[in-house]
Chain A
Amino acid sequence: MNELLSLSLSQLSAEIRAGRVSPVEATEACLRRIDERDGVLNSFITVTADTARHEAREREAELAAGGWRGSLHGVPLALKDLFLTHGVRTTSGSAVLRDWIPDRDATVVRRLREAGAVLLGKLNMHEHAFGATSENPHFGAVRHPHDPERIAGGSSGGSAAAVADHLCFGSLGTDTGGSIRCPAALCGLVGLKPTYGRVSRAGVLPLAWSLDHVGPITRTVSDAAVLLEAVAGYDPADPTSAKEQVPPWLSRLEMGVKGLRLAIPREHFWRPVHPGVRDAVNAAVRMLEQSGAVVEEVSLPSLEFAQAAQSLTITAEAAAYHHSQLATHYTEYGADVRMRLLQGLCISAGDYLDAQRARGVVRRELLDTLRHYDALLTPTVPIPASRIGEQEVRVDEISAPPLFFLLRNTFLFNLTGLPAATVPCGSAEALPVGIQIAGRPWDEATVLRIAYQVEKQMSH
């Protein structure tokens, strides 16, 4: 692998700014890597080599003229294929939109372009983001960079595989039940789902609008902070966008965790959990304690309702969005997604509203807990990456399809809108394991700060 590709996004940015690496050189290295590796990974649906080269040359010319747009200037990135891109097809991983070419950019895409990023193309995903394995019936399964017989997770599986295998320096994904954090954890990456309303979703194809979030998937915590700073902030084009200030997250990473109060929920998150995952996460928690954090167990009894509330909400909202398209393109939907949409069409208004009431109960309990604690810690995904096509996984004497495990520990923070990140903390069966850190609303700073500490500990 070209040595340049082993740099993190932040390191590459510094090299570009110092004139030691050119945007064209970085872009060509990524395009060569895509040629070499994507036949195995299947992480890209569309590679925009020509426009990427054109953008890289433009950024290089700007640098030569003394211009520098910021930390993403000349940095090659790629996008999950549900962000609208002007002139570039946007499939949502589906046959229905296989040839759809939008005439505008999503707000976050526009912000990345304005920040100087070079866009390499569009990444494979679970069809319509409605699933967690990225076993896509139309574009093929995304394969795990460490073991191509395994899934990369999902729904942002292409994003995780491409970043983990150095095909690009970072990616944006979406997360409705864990679709950023799950693939990031399985592939040994950092994934951040910010607070609901923090990042615009205008021009992002929805799955479930009260649960959808946009966020970064990167190789380091600093990179996640850089990407988040570039795309966060109020957007009048998104009615759910919040008028919150965008703080300088990157500059707050090194504050350490001394004195922070961290909670470990007793219920739900720790059973079923693969023993290797449990050991890795426990070791990371102990290291945080040794670094001065106070760690205590807490009880969250309302989690009893959370699964039902999430399941009914996501399924009903997805079905509402797809209703007319499903009627006219029934056979073009993959079997698993079509079945979930049929389920959603059968949910009554009363049941959906009950789910929203339950959601309120769960959210209030979590917010009460976070009055006493700075963040919650859990395993991100209870199992390492499962095999492609695997029908059943057995952990802690519980046998269930992979989907049962993959989003089990992440969906709570979609339901409540709280910020949550995953950061690598070890391995199980020689596959990466992540620890999840969830914080108070709008307090991505503390979440990233704790993640940074874990990352620092793991590198020693």
Chain B
Amino acid sequence: MNGRVASTSCGVSVLRALFVGGLMKDDVLRRLPPEIAAQVSDTEQEELARRLELQDRLAGQLRALPLRETEPSLAVSLERER
């Protein structure tokens, strides 16, 4: 029993190290340009993963918008130039 708890705790620690706020640390770095990813500290990776989870949720809200709502900004600006 004790052994099982110990291995579960260990597993949680490993998982926690791999996943931060639902995102894998490597995923966070892969999303960054390599020249910048190389400079990101461990602490920053954790904070960034937490923030990206929230940011991705915000982006998800917007994906629900119907496509017809595309903003015709070019047409509007061309009209204004006329």
Query: A97: CB under 8 A from chain B?
Result: no
Chain A residues numbered 263-309 whose CB sits less than 8 Å from any CB in chain B: 304-305, 307-309
Query: B52: CB under 8 A from chain A?
Result: yes
Check B33 against A342 for contact (C-beta < 8 Å): no
Question: What residues of A have a CB within 8 angstroms of the CB of B39 in the complex?
Answer: 327, 330-331
Question: What residues of B have a CB within 8 angstroms of the CB of A312 in the complex?
Answer: 55, 58-59, 62
Question: What residues of A have a CB within 8 angstroms of the CB of B69 in the complex?
Answer: 357-358, 360-361
Check A305 against B32 for contact (C-beta < 8 Å): no
Most buried by B among A342, A348, A357: A342
Task: Tell me what chain A mostly uses at the interface: helix, strand, loop, or mixed.
Answer: helix
Question: What residues of A have a CB within 8 angstroms of the CB of B71 in the complex?
Answer: 356-357, 359-360, 363
Q: A342 to B43, alpha carbons, bound, how many Å?
A: 13
Check A309 against B55 for contact (C-beta < 8 Å): no
Q: How far is the CB of B44 from chain A (nearest CB, A)?
A: 7
Check B36 against A345 for contact (C-beta < 8 Å): yes
Question: What residues of A have a CB within 8 angstroms of the CB of B36 in the complex?
Answer: 323, 326-327, 330, 342, 345
Chain B interface bracket (under 10, 10 to 19, 20 to 34, 35 or more):
20 to 34
Q: Apart from A304-B61, A355-B62, A359-B71, what 12 extra A-B contacts exist at CB < 8 Å?
A: A305-B62, A308-B61, A312-B59, A312-B62, A338-B44, A342-B40, A345-B32, A345-B36, A358-B69, A360-B70, A360-B72, A363-B71
Chain A positions within 8 Å of B, measured between CB atoms, are 304-305, 307-309, 311-312, 315, 323, 326-327, 330-331, 338-339, 342-343, 345-348, 351, 354-361, 363
Most buried by A among B31, B36, B48: B36
Question: What residues of A have a CB within 8 angstroms of the CB of B4 in the complex?
Answer: none
Q: How far is the CB of B25 from chain A (nearest CB, A)?
A: 13
How many A-B pairs fall under 8 Å by CB?
Answer: 81
Query: B42: CB under 8 A from chain A?
Result: no
Known A327-B35, A357-B71, A360-B73: A347·B62 in contact at CB below 8 Å: no
Question: What residues of A have a CB within 8 angstroms of the CB of B58 in the complex?
Answer: 307-308, 311-312
Q: A358 to B58, alpha carbons, bound, how many Å?
A: 12
Nearest 5 A/B pairs, CB to CB? A360-B71, A308-B58, A354-B62, A351-B59, A346-B31
B43-55: contact bitstring with A at CB < 8 Å (1 yes, 0 no)?
A: 0100110011001
Write the chain A residue with the least CB distance to B36. A327
Q: A338 to B55, alpha carbons, bound, how many Å?
A: 16
Question: What residues of A have a CB within 8 angstroms of the CB of B40 in the complex?
Answer: 342
Question: What residues of B have a CB within 8 angstroms of the CB of A348 in the complex?
Answer: 59
Q: A354 to B64, alpha carbons, bound, how many Å?
A: 9
Check B59 against A354 for contact (C-beta < 8 Å): yes
Residue in A323, A358, A360 whose CB lies within 8 Å of B33: A323
Check A357 against B51 for contact (C-beta < 8 Å): no
Residue in A307, A315, A346 whose CB lies within 8 Å of B32: A346
20 of the cross-chain contacts (CB-CB < 8 Å) are A305-B61, A308-B58, A308-B59, A312-B58, A323-B33, A326-B36, A327-B35, A338-B44, A343-B48, A345-B36, A346-B32, A346-B48, A347-B55, A351-B62, A354-B65, A355-B62, A357-B62, A357-B70, A360-B69, A360-B71
